[in-house]
Each structure stands twice: as structure tokens, then as C-alpha cells.
């Protein structure tokens, strides 16, 4: 099982050996938006009301998620963000802010 920090290192190594260099941060932001759109398209067809077009694969969900994660890791590497630490801080923020909020939400009770 790969940790987030190991993924950051592995992506960085791949970029430097196979990918030549990182695209600019702004280009990677545009690519991230594109990849999220591709993920959204699969979600809309698989779980929403749209149907798949000829040649589209409902099995592409994992690959599209991995594409989103890849580009997000690239952006984190370029901007010096340690995603392990960022995720831990985000858990703390959500836990402190939402400690009882979701449990008291009648919309979530079934």
C-alpha cells in the first residue's frame, strides 16, 4: 500500500526521469480541471441520468480518479505542500467544526 508521501515522491521521480519536467502550476491547474471534468462525465453516466456514448467505458472510473490524484500530487509537489500534513490538518479542522453538525442533520438520518 502506497502512502501519500510515497506517492508524492514517486510522482516527483517519474516527472524528473520520464516526464522531463513539471508543467507550469497554471497549466497543471487547467489539466486538473480537465481531469475532474472527465471524472464528472463518467459519474454522470454511471450514477446519473446520462447514458454512455459508443466507445465510452463505465470501467474508466478508477483511472479517471487516479488521473485527478496524479495532477493534484504534481501541484502539491510544485508548490511545496506536504499532502500528509495537509490532510491531517484538514481532518482536525473538519472534526472540530463538524463534531456534532452531521449527527444532528435530519437529512442524513435514514
Domain that holds residue 14: 8-98
Q: What is the pLDDT of residue 10?
A: 98
Report if residue 91 sits inside a domain: yes
pLDDT at res. 2? 94
Does 109 reside within a domain? no
Indicate if the alpha-carbon torsion angle 2, 10, 78, 23 is positive or negative: negative
pLDDT number for residue 87:
97
Cα separation of 24 and 26, whole Å? Answer: 5
Tell me how far CA of residue 21 lies from CA of 11, 17, 29, 91, in angstroms. 11, 8, 16, 32
Task: Please check whether residue 76 lies inside any domain of the structure.
Answer: yes
The total domain count for the chain is: 1
In a domain, 105, yes or no: no
pLDDT of residue 99: 81
**Would residue 107 count as lying in a domain?**
no
- The Cβ of residue 58 has, within 10 Å, a number of other Cβ atoms equal to 10
Extract the C-alpha cell encoding 79: 508548490
Binning pLDDT at 50, 70 and 90, where does residue 110 land? confident
Give me the CATH number covering residue 37: 1.10.287.1080
Amino acid at each position: 500500500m502506497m502512502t501519500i508521501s510515497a506517492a508524492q515522491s514517486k510522482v516527483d521521480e517519474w516527472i524528473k526521469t520520464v516526464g522531463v519536467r513539471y508543467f507550469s502550476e497554471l497549466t497543471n491547474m487547467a489539466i486538473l480541471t480537465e481531469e475532474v471534468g472527465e471524472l464528472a462525465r463518467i459519474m454522470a453516466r454511471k450514477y446519473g441520468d446520462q447514458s454512455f456514448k459508443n466507445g465510452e467505458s463505465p470501467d474508466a472510473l478508477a483511472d479517471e480518479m487516479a488521473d485527478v490524484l496524479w495532477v493534484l500530487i504534481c501541484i502539491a509537489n510544485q508548490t511545496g505542500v506536504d499532502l500528509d500534513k495537509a490532510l491531517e490538518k484538514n481532518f482536525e479542522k473538519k472534526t472540530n467544526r463538524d463534531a456534532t453538525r452531521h449527527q444532528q442533520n435530519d437529512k442524513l438520518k435514514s
